Every structure is written in C-alpha cells, then in structure tokens.
C-alpha cells in the first residue's frame, strides 16, 4: 500500500503562505510526497480555513493547487456533523483550548480511513486528539 497522510490547514498555510516559519520544511515534505506519490487527503473545512488564512495572491495559488488534485478532498455526509459537534465539545477546554470544525473533520477522516499520519503544525492539539479506538496521530 502507498504511503498515505492527512493534511491539516496549518500545513497548507505553511506551504503557501508568505513569511511562514516552516515554509521550507513543508515545501520539502510536499515535494517528497509528490515524488513518492503519497495519497494525501484533507477536508473542505480545512480548505476553507487555509483559504481564509492565506493572503492574496497565495490564496489563488493554493486553490489552483487543490483544483489540480494535489490532494484529495474527503466527502462527508451532513449527518456526520452531529458526531463532529460532539468531538468539538469533548476536546474544548475553555478558555485554553478549542477544537474547531476543521480539526474535528480530520479526526473523523482518520477514523473513517484508518490513516493516522498527519501533516500539521498544530502539534499540541493533534498530540491530544484520539481516534474512537484510542489510536494517536503520527505527526509528520
């Protein structure tokens, strides 16, 4: 089986954003993924979040990259929102931490696909999130 990884909004912002501290690291990681033909998957909430955080013209380059099938976008049914809302409630510890919809969608994606490798700059949160079966994420 080919190497597979989930892609968080933070990794996409690091790849496309200006003045991002980890731009070089993620440029290299995504280049390796392309060369080795990794299966990369994300979700629409992550694409939306990354698009919101990126400035112009990086936002346009990012959206063209997604449109060119650089990553797959996992489809969710509307009925999964109930479970995502419960995850968000469970992992939100006011006022210190809050799980957003993008993160919840990635936990659901990992549970559905079994893929636990994740490209993310959000080490603190993805180190504490667990799949329903208790497995942790492997942060790349």
Please give the domain boundaries of the chain with CATH numbers for all domains.
4-139 (3.40.50.1010)
Pairwise CA distance, residues 54 & 33, whole Å? 22
Measured distance CA(88)–CA(22) in Å, rounded: 27
Average of pLDDT values for 106-129? Answer: 95
Q: Distance between CA atoms of 126 and 119, rounded to whole angstroms?
A: 10
pLDDT of residue 106: 98
> At residue 121, does pLDDT exceed 80?
yes
Quote the tokens at residue 66.
Answer: 């997604």
Mean pLDDT check: name the lowest of 22-26, 65-69, 116-120.
22-26
Note the pLDDT of residue 93.
Answer: 75
In this predicted structure, the answer to whether residue 91 has a pLDDT above a threshold of 70 is yes
Residues 81 and 41: their CA atoms lie apart, in Å, by: 19
| Predicted local confidence at residue 86, as pLDDT | 93
Burial zone of 33 (CB within 10 Å; 0-12 exposed, 13-18 middle, 19+ buried) = buried
Whether pLDDT at 1 is above 80: no
> What is the average per-residue pLDDT within 7-33?
89
Question: pLDDT, tens digit, for every residue of 27-50?
Answer: 999 999 999 999 999 999 999 999
Average pLDDT, rounded, for the chain: 92
- Tokens 């006022």 correspond to what residue? 95
- Of 51-55, 97-101, 134-138, least confident by mean pLDDT is 97-101
User: Taking Cα atoms as reference points, which of 49, 24, 43 lies closest to residue 118?
Assistant: 43
């Amino acid at each position: 089986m080919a190497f597979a990884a989930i892609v968080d909004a933070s990794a996409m912002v690091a790849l496309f954003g200006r003045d991002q501290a980890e731009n070089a690291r993620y440029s290299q990681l995504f280049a390796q993924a392309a060369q080795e033909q990794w299966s990369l998957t994300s979700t629409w909430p992550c694409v939306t979040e990354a698009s919101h955080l990126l400035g112009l013209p990086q936002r346009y380059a990012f959206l063209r990259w997604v449109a060119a099938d650089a990553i797959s976008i996992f489809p969710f049914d509307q009925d999964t929102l109930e479970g995502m809302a419960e995850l968000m409630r469970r992992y939100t510890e006011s006022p210190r931490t809050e799980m957003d919809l993008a993160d919840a969608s990635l936990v659901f994606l990992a549970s559905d696909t079994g893929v636990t490798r994740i490209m993310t700059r959000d080490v603190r949160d993805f180190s504490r999130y667990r799949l329903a079966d208790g497995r942790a994420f492997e942060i790349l």
